[in-house]
Amino acid sequence: MELTKSEQEMLEGKHGEGVALAMKVQVATGEAFGAARMVPITRAHVALSNQDADTWFAEKLAKAGAKCKIAPTVNPGFSLAYFCGHCQSQQAMTAKDIDMMRRTHNAYKQLGAILTYNCTPYLGSNIPQFKEIIGFSESSATPYVNSVWGARSNRESSLSALCAAITGLVPEYGLLLDENRKGDILVEVQADMDNDFAYQMLGYMGKKIGPGIPVFIGLTKRPTPEALMNLGAQLNTSGAYGMYHIVGVTPEAPTVEVAFGDKEPARKVVITNQDLREIRDAISHAPGRIDYALFGCPHFSINQIQQVANLVQGKKLAVDLWIMTSANNKYLAERMGIKEIINAAGGDIVEETCTDQPCWHFLKGKVGITDSPKLAYYPKKRGLEFVIRDIDTCVQAALKGEVE
């Protein structure tokens, strides 16, 4: 890679040991992917996981004196304020689990990150512009910023996005270059995409779609922001996709021809109602009695919280119900009286928390219900099982304690 004088100085440690370490990681990544140079970024989002390797690396950078040049927004860990006051959860966590969250918080604070603890920054706190070059990690975020906002980010890891935030640079390869943003696979959607849940299932068709950039056609109704959030999250649970095109929605896909850059699709795939039904049944726990409902992977929008509140208003839930969201949305829900409605029914809104965290260990061995395959996928390793249905069915099930 050809580095400028100042980039070379960063690599050699003239800007401190922390910057040199971040630069070393980025130059090695750039060389592995054949990048010719580094380019500046104007935004970053770090998918901190609050798990050992991630926190170790952030602490190492902080100890070496690194500070973020571009302050990134960050993903959730778990809310110490909420779960350390929640008896069952606190009993199921170890002292190490609680200490890890404190260490993560302190490391990212020291690095100068914006401590949003939210995994949908592209809907509120960190929205890029068309063609803006950025460094984003997080499975639903990268496809959203590329495919909906038309910004340019590779599918960064939490570590490489943190390095980008520290140096203010990224190696130029992959989705930063015009020629790599064209479609590869034509995906004709014949299924009725009549609600946001259908996009969860469409996203989970990664195995059938296969590797490359999909170009979706047949989506006759404009998808909602939540539908697009669902699509990206599930594409990156069932596969690995930094970008997709929806003709008429993605800024770089006004027509099918433009989306493919005048080349022929390498593959054509058809998705039917039967495909969506089969994938739901394959990944869902069998219907029957449920012990709780959990939503917000990715974090629920205020519209989704409102949808749940409308369904439970004036009723009593038969089982626990939690909604994970950002601190901002929780605050809005309080202000709008929505939280009060959910609390009165026996449910709760949990801020700044991810499904893949030890705070949910107390649900081990129980069967929950959720609208998100991603939410069901990650906690499997912690012994949590989920029936997967649309939001309305999930809430009706939580009111009855069972789902048909």
> What's CA 26's distance to the chain center, in Å?
23
* Distances from the Cα of 399 to the Cα of 205, 309, 316, angstroms: 30, 12, 7
Does 76 sit near ligand F3S (CB under 6 A)?
yes
By the rule CB under 6 A, 186 interacts with ligand F3S: no
Is the CB of 253 or the CB of 294 nearer to ligand F3S? 294
From candidates 374, 385, 386, 389, binder to ligand F3S by CB under 6 A: 374
Q: Do residues 377 and 237 lie in contact, with contact meaning Cβ atoms separated by under 8 Å?
A: yes
Residues ≥6 apart with Cβ < 8 Å to 122: 128, 141, 144, 145, 148, 149
Q: Does the footprint of ligand F3S cover residue 19 (CB under 6 A)?
A: no
Give every CB contact of residue 188 below 8 A, 6+ residues apart in sequence.
Answer: 217, 218, 268, 269, 270, 271
Does residue 142 interact with ligand F3S by CB under 6 A?
no
Burial of 197 (0-12, 13-18, 19+ CB in 10 A): buried
CA–CA distance, 54 with 43 (Å, rounded to integer): 20
174 binds ligand F3S (CB under 6 A): no
**Nearest approach, Cβ of 307 to ligand F3S (angstroms)?**
18
CA 36 from centroid of its chain's CA atoms: 29
80 vs 318, which CB is nearer to ligand F3S?
Answer: 80
77 makes contact with ligand F3S (CB under 6 A): no
Residue 228 binds to ligand F3S (criterion: CB under 6 A): no
Return the number of the residue (168 or 379) whose C-beta is nearest ligand F3S.
379
Query: Residue 73's beta-bridge partner residues?
Result: 45, 114
Q: How far is CA 319 from the centre of its chain?
A: 27
CB of 237 to ligand F3S, least distance (A): 9
The total of other beta-carbon atoms located within 10 Å of residue 215's CB is 23
Q: How far is the CB of 49 from ligand F3S (least distance, A)?
A: 8
145 is an interface residue for ligand F3S by CB under 6 A: no
Q: Binding marks (x or -) toward ligand F3S, 283..302, rule CB under 6 A?
A: --------------xxx---
320 versus 352: smaller Cβ distance to ligand F3S: 352
Q: What is the SS3 assignment for 47? A: coil
Q: Does 203 bind ligand F3S (CB under 6 A)?
A: no
Half-sphere exposure of 46 (CA within 13 A, CB side): 34
User: Binding marks (x or -) toward ligand F3S, 332..371, rule CB under 6 A?
Assistant: ----------------------xxx---------------
Q: Is 75 in the site for ligand F3S (CB under 6 A)?
A: yes
Q: Which residues sit at the interface with ligand F3S, rule CB under 6 A?
A: 75-76, 119, 140, 233, 297-299, 324, 354-356, 374, 378
